[in-house]
Amino acid sequence: MNDFVGKIGIITGGTKGIGKFITKHLIARGAKVYVLARDAEAGKKTEQELGANCIFRTVDVTNGAQVQATIDSIIETEKRVDFLVNNAGVTQDNLLLRMTDEQWDFVFSTNLKGAFYCTKAVARAMMKQRAGAILNITSIVGITGNAGQANYASAKAGLIGFTKSIAREFSSRNIRVNAIAPGFFETQLTVGLPPELKERYLKEIPLGRFGTLDEIAEVACFLLSERASYITGQILNVDGGMLMR
């Protein structure tokens, strides 16, 4: 449980849901985590809840200059960065014929271009120290597609290609890059599903239940830790067996 003592990390969208639970588990293992997100109020609340090793910075990941300046400041303060979790994500669902340019662009800018900006911002420091781990949070929707989510599914599929490409680029500098593709988890969204829809989804999951956020956080901690030192360029489906082949 002390895998991350002395480690410095950055996570985007770490004030709620999957991102917050990953942050919580990393801090419990000794990490100091900088949380980047748009919502300052939620960020301050997360700092108070998770303690001194959680430091919030207000950042819009779609703003490349803001991302670069913030991460440069973190690296200048800490003198290193050991891991990055690209978790920030949004949805703006609509059928394709009704989808606006703004809905398409906003989802791509946050879910994919944000990961590009953040990864580029940490890359030089990680290459210099010849060590680092990057974890991208994609989705099984990026593998299967989903009606009404052409923008979201496309951005998440792009994140899978991004993961594999930079894993190849960075491997010679001992920087590992992996991704998690979550399935259905116990969140406010799934709690509020109509019973018949919930039952339909559960029938598609061999384990017969939704996952917990603690379970996905444990997988994230493993992939970011030295226990996964020989794993890179992988997309791990954490979905209770939904996409079992």
Question: Among all residues, which ones are annotated catalytic?
Answer: 152
C-alpha span between 242 and 236 (Å, rounded): 12
Cα(133)–Cα(114) distance, rounded to whole angstroms?
A: 17
C-alpha torsion sign, points 222, 21, 54, 60: positive
Query: What residue has token string 């000794």?
Result: 30
Alpha-carbon gap, residue 229 to 86, rounded angstroms: 19
Give just the sign of the alpha carbon dihedral 244, 91, 151, 165.
negative
Distance CA 62, CA 205 (A): 34
